[in-house]
Structure formats: C-alpha cells, structure tokens
Amino acid sequence: MVIIIIDMKKVGERIATLRKKRGLTGEKLAELLYVSPQAVLKWETGKDLPETILLPDLAKRLGESIDSLLASQPYPVKLYLGGHYINGLPPLQFGQFRDCTWAGSIKL
C-alpha cells in the first residue's frame, strides 16, 4: 500500500504565488471559479484544499497542470495538444490523447 501525503501548506503557497503571478486577486480567482473568497483564502493558507472538481479549472486559470499544483515540488511541465504532462511521471492510458498524469503523480 502506498500512502500519499499532500502538503497543504505548500499547495496553498503555490496557489497564492501562481495567482499573484497571473495578476489575480483572491476575490477575482474566487469569482472565476464560482467559489467564495474565503475558500481561496483557506487554500492559500493551507487550511483546506480545493475540491477535486475544481482542479482542472484552477490549474488552467493559473497556467499550470494539476500535477504541479499538488506536487510537493515543482516539476517541469510540457504541453501536448492542449494538455499537460510531467517529465518522469508515467501517464495512465485512457485512450488516445486522454492521458491523465495528475492521477499518475498521486499514485507515485
């Protein structure tokens, strides 16, 4: 059995850094994701994590992959056909052009 521990504080710091890099306020990011500003504040302070259903849109708005948001360290991310993958992480094959590397990163 593999147990994965996500460092909520590091995830929050990464979200805050990427949000600021994009020139977004916490309120604007909340508005774009249809969540409360308090939810964004909880993520950024490491008190909570975004709901799984929000991860694709959050990653897109921050210009990153889901992998790089949740990983404990930044990984080099490359684009392919509008998607993302991380070097060194095996993708899960769900069909042509439907690789899911964020699930692979959690598995690792």
Domains of the chain: residue spans and CATH: 8-107 (1.10.260.40)
Token pair in block for residue 103: 């699930």
Token pair in block for residue 31: 């508005």
In this structure, the chain runs to a length of: 108
DSSP state, 75? -
64 against 36, higher pLDDT: 36
Locus of tokens 């992959």: 65
- Asked if residues 61 and 22 have their Cβ atoms less than 8 Å apart, the reply is yes
44 against 6, higher pLDDT: 44
In the predicted model, what is the mean pLDDT of residues 64-73? 76
Question: Torsions phi, psi of 25, nearest 5?
Answer: -85, 165
Q: What does the pLDDT look like over 2-32, one tens digit per residue? A: 445 688 999 999 999 999 999 999 999 999 9
- pLDDT of 77 higher than 70: no
> What is the pTM assigned to this prediction?
0.66
